Chain A
Amino acid sequence: MVKPIDVGADDFDVEVLQCTDRPVLVDFWSETCGHCLALNPQYDQAAETKADEVKFVKVSFQQCRDLFGEYGVRATPTLVLFRDGEEIARTVGAKRADDLNAWIDESLGD
């Protein structure tokens, strides 16, 4: 089973910005956020469905506060889609897995 990868400040560059074989979706989340907890099973499901197309990553506010500031994250969960190291789309709030997959497809122009 494919699961999202937990990423911190030390490996954000390698796992997200330097990943060029496929787009990377980053879930900026907080451990105190109920909407983030609600998103978790949906995010896991989407990661399983889209494993070959998109890399799913999670960044926790409690572990990497600075990254939240660097990427202008002002709400949790905020999902940011990167391609070749550049942000191409973002969305805020919990979503069902199928809605998340549809958003990814739309953002990638699929």
Chain B
Amino acid sequence: MTQTDLTCDLHIIGGGPAGYTAAIYAARANLKTVVSTPSPLSGMMSMAPTVGNWPAQVEPAPGREILERIHDQALRYGAEIVLETVAGVNFTEDRGLQVFGGAQMHVARAVIIATGAMSPADKVPGEEELLGGGVAYCVACDGPLFADEDVIVVGADQHAFEEALALSEIARSVTVTAPTPELKADEHVVAALEAAENIAVATGLKIQEIVGEGGVVTGARYRDREDAERVIQGAGVFMYLRGNAPATEFLMGALEVDEQGYIITDEQMATSHPGVFAAGDVRRKLAHQQVIAAAEGAVAALSAERFIRGGERIRSDRGEARDRGAPADELEGRP
């Protein structure tokens, strides 16, 4: 692997408290750091209505508000944030640690998996059977296959709504269905959905089945809040419902996981593959808490720095040196 093959020193997968805290530590240590995340603010913390146990947050605040500050702090120190869903990885010995995003391959010296525990929900009836016949999970991947057709987007988070907006540029019409009574997303996203001429939004609908004929999707069947049945027609159904299992399917067995899919690590957040670390809810732990996720992100970043630069001990954060403008040699621990 040559220097020119690398796209960054550290690639972080996940834009929650673990991922962004890791990005802060890594960027402060002068590592070229990239974070891949489907939305700028992702995961459970972004959806928490109020958070009252975040240290220094005296008054409870929406999780999204706190996460936005962590996100901004990562940017302040020079981390790059790429909005994409990581579809897979290929951890090689000689060609670097490869991470496959929307339409690009990243190659890093070290990787931190911080993808949380909001894996795709269990499949609904018809979803497995009609896979390949109009069931989709990614607009960048499959949106063009539905050009000028009527499609459905099923989801309850901002990422689903952003995908719907992208799809509306390609499809004839997009029907967004959310199981929640109202859309939970940033105001500008909700406004864009409402303003789009070819997007219809239907809330309070719980999907029951994806229906089709001859192996091809024809629509989806729902129950509304009054338990009445409703069928929406569409040539494609883009699914973005989230469950509560660790989001590790994209690894395709590249790392050791436990019986429930949580990534196994040591106390330094090191996984079964050299140079790959994991932090946050994607690891099994006693308590899944946002501040614990952030702490693990910091440990993972410090461990990744040790892996990249060598050395026996994990160095403490060199942020003070960076803040006073120390030269690169000092930041990177070179004599």
**B interface residue count range (under 10 / 10 to 19 / 20 to 34 / 35 or more):** 35 or more
Complex partner residue of B141 from A36, A90, A91, A95, CB under 8 angstroms: A36
Among B88, B131, B253, the residue within 8 A (CB) of A39 is B88
Please choose the segment from A10-18, A67-75, A102-110 that sits at the chain B interface, where 4 or more of its residues have CB less than 8 A away.
A67-75
Q: Is B84's CB within 8 Å of the partner chain A?
A: yes
Within the complex, what minimum Cβ distance (angstroms) separates A9 from chain B? Answer: 17
Is B326 part of the binding interface, using a Cβ–Cβ cutoff of 8 Å? no
Q: Is the pair B105, A37 in contact by a Cβ cutoff of 8 Å? A: yes
Give the interface segment out of B68-76, B132-140, B157-165: B132-140
A92 & B131 in contact (Cβ 8 Å cutoff) = yes
With A35-B88, A39-B88 known to touch, is A75 a contact of B104 (CB < 8 Å)? no
Once the chains are docked, how many angstroms separate the CA of A72 from the CA of B144?
Answer: 14
CA distance A91 to B131 in the complex (A): 9
Q: Is the CB of A30 within 8 A of B141?
A: yes
- For chain B residues 102-152, which have a beta carbon within 8 Å of chain A? 102-105, 131-136, 138, 140-142, 144-146
Residue of B nearest to A62 (CB): B144
Complex alpha-carbon distance, A96 and B89, angstroms: 10
Task: Chain A residues near B252: list those with CB within 8 A.
Answer: 38, 42, 94-96
* Known contacts A68-B145, A73-B145, A76-B145; A33/B98 CB under 8 A: no
Task: Give the distance in Å from the alpha carbon of A35 to the alpha carbon of B136 in the complex.
Answer: 12
**Considering only CB atoms, which chain A residue lies closest to B102 in the complex?**
A34
Are B142 and A94 touching (Cβ within 8 A)? Answer: no
Do residues A96 and B140 form an inter-chain contact, with CB atoms below 8 A? no
Beta-carbon nearest neighbor of A98 in chain B: B253
Say whether chain B's binding surface is mostly helix, strand, loop, or mixed. mixed
Decide: B103 and A34 in contact? CB cutoff 8 A: yes
Interface residues on A, range: 20 to 34
The distance in angstroms between the C-alpha atoms of A34 and B83, with both chains bound, is 13
Cα–Cα distance between A108 and B132 once the two chains are bound (Å): 20
Give every chain B residue within 8 A of A61 (Cβ-Cβ).
144-145
User: A31-B103, A73-B145 are known contacts. Are A92 and B253 too (CB-CB below 8 A)?
Assistant: no
Given A38-B252, A75-B136, A92-B131, A33 and B145 contact (CB-CB distance below 8 Å):
no
**Contact (Cβ within 8 A) A74 B88:** no
Known: A34-B88, A38-B88, A94-B252. A76 touches B103 (CB 8 A): no
Interface positions, chain B 72-87, Cβ under 8 Å from A, are 84-87
Instruction: Quote the shortest CB–CB distance from B89 to chain A (angstroms).
Output: 7
Select from chain B the residue with minimum beta-carbon distance to A36.
B141
Q: Tell me, yes or no, whether B307 is within 8 Å of chain A by CB.
A: no
Please give, as numbers and ranges, the residues of chain B lying within 8 Å of A96 by CB-CB distance. Answer: 252-253
Q: Which of A34, A42, A68, A72 contacts B140 (CB 8 A)?
A: A34
The verdict on B236 contacting chain A, using a C-beta distance below 8 Å, is yes
- Find B85's partner among A34, A72, A76, A78 (CB 8 Å cutoff): A34
> Contact residues of B with A, CB < 8 Å?
84-90, 92, 98, 100-105, 131-136, 138, 140-142, 144-146, 215-217, 236, 250, 252-253
5 shortest A-B CB distances, which residue pairs? A38-B88, A34-B87, A33-B141, A92-B132, A37-B100
